[in-house]
């Protein structure tokens, strides 16, 4: 006949929040949240830095629309935004995709959106959600022409972008 073991008095796998702090086995998930104001949260990896940049953008722009937030998210993966590029360069000739960037800018498209499109991203929704919008249609035609020419087939050397004027 098998001998029964005594019932455990405390189950450690299912612990209450009170016992969690005393055992130090469980992390407080609130203390793990990233905060863009905390300098120790920056520089861990590009993924968390981008999350912090988004958090900071939303904090500084509480009335930002979905389109503005989307535009910001797209620009995170570019060397610099269109506005930054125009502010730091005297000519668009230094842009890695100068021809496309110039075409989009010259046809009245916002600098940041023009930059996103110039890098080959088909984000026409940043211009307008309306497919009949004339600016969106124009941007689509310009993009299609560059795509047909194979403009984005060869990646530029992004290290060659000068950072000052």
pLDDT-based confidence at 163, cuts 50/70/90? very low
Do 138 and 107 contact (CB within 8 A), yes or no? yes
pLDDT digits (tens, 9 = 90+) for 72-103: 776 676 677 788 788 888 888 888 888 999 99
Would you give the DSSP letter of residue 3? P
For 18-27, 49-58, 129-138, 156-165, which range has the lowest pLDDT when averaged over its residues?
Answer: 156-165
DSSP string, 41-73: GTTS-HHHHHHHHHHHHHHH-TT--HHHHHHHH
Of the candidates 143, 135, 125, the one whose C-alpha atom is nearest the C-alpha of residue 71 is 125
């Amino acid at each position: 006949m098998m001998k029964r073991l005594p019932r455990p008095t405390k189950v450690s796998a299912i612990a209450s929040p009170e016992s969690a702090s005393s055992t130090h086995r469980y992390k407080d998930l609130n203390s793990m949240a990233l905060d863009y104001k905390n300098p120790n949260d920056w520089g861990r990896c590009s993924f968390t830095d981008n999350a912090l940049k988004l958090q900071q953008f939303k904090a500084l722009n509480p009335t930002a629309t979905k389109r503005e937030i989307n535009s910001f998210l797209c620009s995170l993966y570019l060397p610099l935004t269109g506005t930054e590029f125009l502010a730091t360069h005297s000519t668009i000739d230094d842009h890695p995709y100068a021809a496309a960037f110039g075409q989009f800018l010259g046809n009245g498209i916002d600098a940041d959106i023009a930059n996103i499109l110039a890098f080959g991203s088909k984000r026409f929704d940043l211009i307008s959600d309306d497919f009949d919008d004339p600016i969106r249609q124009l941007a689509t035609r310009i993009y299609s022409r560059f795509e047909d020419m194979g403009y984005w087939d060869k990646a530029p050397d992004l290290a060659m972008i000068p950072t000052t004027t």
